[in-house]
Structure 1
Amino acid sequence: MAVRDNPSENRFELTVEGQTAIAAYRREGDRIVFTHTIVPRELEGQGIGTRLIEGALAQVRGEGLTVVPQCAFVAAYLRKHPEAAEIAAA
């Protein structure tokens, strides 16, 4: 299961069992603002949201972007994973 960037929809996607979890964003120069994350009910409680954000942040890091976590899920992920927090905007 690979997380893919869908720039035409401004979101990262992870499809599992025919259901797609998304992490919506908007780009602002060298920053990416995560606005919300949606995991379908059928996939809740399986760590899909975490895998989605891990994959999205890996791609963001590779592009050298700074993360602005407006989404509560992304903000909580960054708090729980200090190794990923270095890409968060101050």
Structure 2
Amino acid sequence: MSEDSIKKEVSGSKGRYLLIRDGHEAELTFSIASPTLVIADHTGVPEELRGTGAGRALFEALIANARADGFKIVPLCPFVNAERRKHPGAADLFAG
């Protein structure tokens, strides 16, 4: 299996991380509250990609960008919130 390519798309105050694998799209959407605060809104993974690590790859892209760009994450998305609890090493990246 080749390594996934995740693309970050931003339009105004909204954005998403997009992963395309085997013709199926998974995404993690976010809202930009300020230059230092991003709200993780929703993670959508189609049935065909469930259990393949697609959601985790999107979460890891969000975490990597937060660390590189210096913003905090508000985890409104239940999946992102669950992953946050599994990764205590990233606790400094979450607001609240």
2:87 maps to: 81
The SS at the match of 1:55 is helix
Give the gaps of 5 or more residues in structure 2. Answer: none
Spell out structure 1 runs of 4+ moving beyond 2 A. none
- For residue 21 of structure 1, what is the aligned residue in structure 2? 26
User: What is the CA-CA distance between 1:39 and the residue it aligns to?
Assistant: 0.3
Query: Which residue pairs with 2:50 in the alignment?
Result: 44
Report how many aligned residue pairs link the two structures: 90
CA-based RMSD of the aligned residues comes to: 1.1
SS of match in other structure, 2:28: strand
Task: Give the distance between the partners of 2:50 and 2:28, measured in 1 at CA.
Answer: 14
What is aligned with 1:5? 8
Partners of 2:59 and 2:6 lie apart in 1 by 9
Larger radius of gyration: 2
| Alpha-carbon separation, structure 1, partners of 2:7 and 2:67 | 14
Instruction: Report the residue type matching 1:21 in the other structure.
Output: A
% identical aligned pairs: 36
* Residue in structure 1 matched with residue 77 of structure 2 by the alignment: 71
Please say if residues 31 and 67 of structure 1, whose CA atoms lie closer than 8 Å, have aligned partners that are also in contact: yes
Query: TM-score scaled to structure 2, two decimals?
Result: 0.88
User: 1:60 and 1:15 mapped to 2: Cα distance?
Assistant: 22
Query: 1:44 Cα deviation (Å)?
Result: 0.5
